[in-house]
Amino acid sequence: VSSTPQQNGAVILFKMRDGATWRNDLNGRCPDLKFNGFAWTLRNPGETVCENEQSLRVLRSGEVCTLGKFTQITPARGAKPM
């Protein structure tokens, strides 16, 4: 999985291993993401990420940001259209 902050820390795009791209509109802006990257710890058995529940920490500044709603931008490779 790769991630790219967008729109001055208001959005993160996640590119999944299966080719899907997901957009997350953060709960509030997280401007330090653009320059410093982030770290997070998944604390559930399935290591899943849930909208409006997961937080992340910006590496250099320590700023804490919370994920908002996820929207799928592109489907997984080989996925059938709905």
* CA 27 to mean position of chain CA atoms: 11
In terms of pTM, does the model score above 0.85? no
CA gap 4, 18 in Å, rounded: 17
Q: Residue 53's pLDDT band (boundaries 50, 70, 90)?
A: confident
Q: What is the per-residue pLDDT across 22-36, written as a single tens digit (0 to 9) for each?
A: 999 999 988 888 878
Amino acid in the structure at residue 50: C
Gyration radius of the chain's alpha carbons:
13
| Residue 42, CA atoms < 13 Å, CB-side half-sphere | 8
